[in-house]
Structure 1
Amino acid sequence: MESLATTPLTGWHRENGAKMAPFAGFDMPVQYKGIIVEHKHTRTKAGIFDICHMGEFKLFGQGAKDALNKVVSHDLNTLAPGKCRYGFLLNQAGGINDDLIVYCLAEDEYMLVVNGACRKGDFNHIKANLPDSLDFTDISDETGKIDVQGPESLDVLNTLMGDKWNHLKYFNFQTTDALGFPMIISRTGYTGELGYELYLPSDQALSIWEKLAEDERVEPVGLGARDTLRLEIGYPLYGQDLDTEHTPVEAGAGFFLKKESDYIGKSGLGNVRESLVALSIDGRRTARHHDAVVSPSGEKIGVVTSGSFAPSLGHCIALAYVAAEHAEQETFLIKTARAELEAKKVALPFYKDGTARMKTE
């Protein structure tokens, strides 16, 4: 039997009736009251998510910016303290080892937030490409992470903190000890809604989670709804839509890449064999990960990476890699276990009414 890691909140999830399943080596909640219920609650009010399985690294020392700039795709020259940026950690061929967010804590001081399943490999890869003079530490075990997401998340956060956080802009963060311990509050998230990610000592995670859960505007949300929420916005999932065999350009994320300086994998970005396309499917019949995308003659031209019924839209959606020469087609066929589904290529995001960038000041 697989030995699963736990988060500081695993006991709470089990005590409160969560359906649990393995994810990234952790015992994680899939749902509490139901995926669609939790999805719609996040879109209209506020949901809280246990994201303590993620990895966090700390880097500091003279020359940290210049050294890290050669390893990640983020442009750190334009990343000021108090701001964070999404980007990629690539292999030599330009394939994606991981997607991550880099936080600039101060000059030559950074926090890197990586996917839990990639934590060990990411740490070893980054460390091997940094000078020994820099201090690079894995702080994942001592760091808890709770996400508060939804249109009412700011009001929930203000209640928790006892003061106003309306000033925090999208992809900005601030460190505070207002609750008696150091915590980073970041206006970021994975749902497309107004939201905040709280980084705090792991031994404080349960007490903060319980305080948030007591708020009548809040419901706990599992991995199931987290997946449908992110897919509706077109956010990719590492291990499905992003992997070591595809570059950010192939994944439709080339606009995140810096252009002026070199970094590991940059030389491989021009090799575009496949493109990730967004597909809309009428009805409730859903395409799933690994389903084939075929031509009218039945030739396989691609594969579905993510697919689901979209509760906010009332029909199914999918992301799929297709051969580059077919990427401009308007319609595709998806071959599932039970049927062939006609899919129409659309622009992202699928769901266009998210509140993530709304003004809060």
Structure 2
Amino acid sequence: MDEQLKQTPLCGRHEALKALMAPFGGWNMPIQYEGIIAEHAWCRAKASLFDICHMGEFLFEGDFAAGGLEDVFTFSVATIPVGRSRYGFLLNESGGIIDDLIVFRLAPDKAMIVVNAATAPRDLAVISTRLKGGAFTDISAQTGKLDIQGPLSRDVMVAAFGAEIAAIPYFRFTTMNILGVEAIVSRTGYTGELGYEIFIPSDKVVELWDQLLLDERVKPAGLGARDVLRLEVGYSLYGSDIDEATTPLEAGLEGFVDLSKNFVGKEALLRQKEQGVARRKVAFEVNSRRSPRHHYELCFSGEGVGTVTSGVFSPMLGRGIGLGFVRPDLASIGTPLTIIHERVSMEATVCELPFYRGGSLRS
């Protein structure tokens, strides 16, 4: 293993479970335990536990407007009610996505910003330069994060920590005592299933992991299953489907951009909105069980028109699925595409998202 890779507090637990470990976002992370297909199926039917301690967390305390936080993201922080969270973007001057993130409103003058692992150092630097006041702290090292996802996750959490959890609506959270410390339990996730994200001091995360796995309804799942789960419901992966060269308008994510407010990159988006985008993200289904892969070429009538950014075999649909970018005139539902890579060729059709609609997300 590369000694420069960071390790979560659960690395020893993963090794004891004989997980396949691999680099992800600068971290040594579990890709699978018993297998991606089995872990995917368990999450869709029962409850899976994911180590997400690699994510970054920042804390802002102060006046959101006077401190400048209100102008940092593509959405308003000040209008998030206490106890709720909001998804959106940190953009560069060109409107490119530096990161996609979620802000949790902890108190009238306090917010936690949860960012991707690989982009966390850059996010910290960029946000710091845009702030004019308040206290801004990187709390990533002292914050552990576990995600429990699946239709039985509510039952598991209530059995472990009390009925209060059953009352948390989607995209809301509560602060409560878990294992003798203050923890945030949020009804959010990345799988399309009912689930919770638990933020707890990092020195308690191993104990929490062990306790949740005592429940026979819970099994650990790695990043491999997580990638299949998120793609089946059409969620974008930073570094693949979105990046600094991609704007929210190109990615079809303008719903998470409030153009009535101020933020870096707004002028570029307004120009792009007026002129039109040169490419657009599409979802497509393959007419076989073959898996499209990142960087495979998308073709139309024998001409290269774009690139696959994410692709997997979907166990729920029984066929290959993927995301990619094409010319705007080819983004219509039903457009036939051919996916080419060396001697591989597969036929696909542009379709609507999500691919899989049977999840328990809003149960």
**Same fold per superposition (TM over 0.5):** yes
Does the 8 Å CA contact 2:65/2:71 hold for their aligned counterparts? no
**Residue number in structure 2 paired with 1:186:** 186
Does the 8 Å CA contact 1:64/1:134 hold for their aligned counterparts? no
Q: Distance in 2 between matches of 1:57 and 1:77?
A: 17
Select 1:340's aligned residue among 337, 345, 355. Answer: 345
For residues 53-89 of structure 1, give each alpha carbon's deviation from its aligned partner in whole angstroms, at most 9, with x where no partner exists: 0000000113457721211012224311000011000
1:317 aligns with 2:295: no
**Residue number in structure 2 paired with 1:277:** 282
**Residue number in structure 1 paired with 2:311:** 307
1:234 aligns with 2:239: no
- Look up the SS of the partner of 2:240 in the other structure: coil
Contiguous gaps of at least 5 residues in structure 1: none
The alpha carbon displacement at 1:177 in A equals: 1.7
The alpha carbon displacement at 1:169 in A equals: 0.4
**Residue number in structure 1 paired with 2:196:** 196
The alpha carbon displacement at 1:229 in A equals: 0.1
Question: Are residues 332 and 65 of structure 1, via their aligned partners in 2, closer, same or farther at CA, if it must alter by over 3 Å?
Answer: farther
**Residue number in structure 1 paired with 2:123:** 122
**Residue number in structure 1 paired with 2:44:** 43
**Residue number in structure 1 paired with 2:96:** 95
The one-letter amino acid of 2:345's match is E
Size of the aligned set, in residue pairs, is 356
For residues 232-290 of structure 1, give each alpha carbon's deviation from its aligned partner in whole angstroms, at most 9, with x where no partner exists: 00000000001111101111110111132121111112421110000001221111000
TM-score when normalising by structure 1: 0.96
**Residue number in structure 2 paired with 1:83:** 84
The alpha carbon displacement at 1:330 in A equals: 1.3
The alpha carbon displacement at 1:349 in A equals: 0.2
Question: Are residues 104 and 64 of structure 1, via their aligned partners in 2, closer, same or farther at CA, if it must alter by over 3 Å?
Answer: farther
Contiguous gaps of at least 5 residues in structure 2: none
Q: Percent identity?
A: 47
Q: Distance in 2 between matches of 1:187 and 1:17?
A: 29
**Residue number in structure 2 paired with 1:211:** 211
Give the alignment of 1:103-142 within 5 angstroms.
103-131=104-132, 133-142=133-142
Question: Are residues 2 and 276 of structure 1, via their aligned partners in 2, closer, same or farther at CA, if it must alter by over 3 Å?
Answer: farther
The alpha carbon displacement at 1:179 in A equals: 2.9
Does the 8 Å CA contact 2:259/2:266 hold for their aligned counterparts? no
